[in-house]
Amino acid sequence: MCISLRSGEKIYINGAVLRVDRKVTLELINDVTFMLESQVMQVADATTPLRQLYFVVQLMLMSPGDIEQARAVFGHQRCAIYAAADNKELLQGLDAIEELVEAKRYYEALRKIRGLFEIEQAILSSADMLLPVVA
């Protein structure tokens, strides 16, 4: 697999952070776990339940040494979202994400979570419209 990076861009490979100083193409010859900088969520951006779930799965991918603790947090977070949600597509997505995490397919789980961000935003926006305005 070949990955092209721009000058100054970071890539996270098997828990290590690499930054390139010029445009470069990396060829990953063996099976590695990686994330591009654009896919990495910072803790300050984990502002919604699904974004927090994304952050936890991201930790599983990037810090395999702390996976058991992250799995426990994932389980609690997923259950809380599941209990609060009533959107069929969101609930099916959560089921699929759980299966992917159980199969240790974290990258695919992250992609699935990103696909649910729009649904979550619509739900949160409609909930905001129902809240009374306090003067």
Q: Mention every residue, 6+ apart, whose C-beta is less than 8 A from residue 74.
A: 53, 56, 57, 60, 101
Helices (H), the chain: 49-62, 67-84, 88-102, 106-130
The pLDDT tens digits for 60-69 are 888 777 788 8
pLDDT at 95: 95
pLDDT higher for 92 or 130?
92
pLDDT at 56 over 90: yes
The pLDDT tens digits for 79-116 are 999 898 889 999 999 999 999 999 999 989 999 999 99
pLDDT at 132: 53
pLDDT higher for 8 or 14?
8
Rounded distance, CA 127 to CA 65, Å?
38
What are the sequence ranges of the domains in the chain? 2-38, 41-130
Rounded to an integer, the average pLDDT of 14-41 is 82
- The number of CA neighbours under 13 Å toward the Cβ of 124 is 12
pLDDT at 97: 96
Say whether pTM exceeds 0.85: no
Tokens of 14: 């098997």
Residues forming beta bridges with residue 5, ordered by sequence position: 24
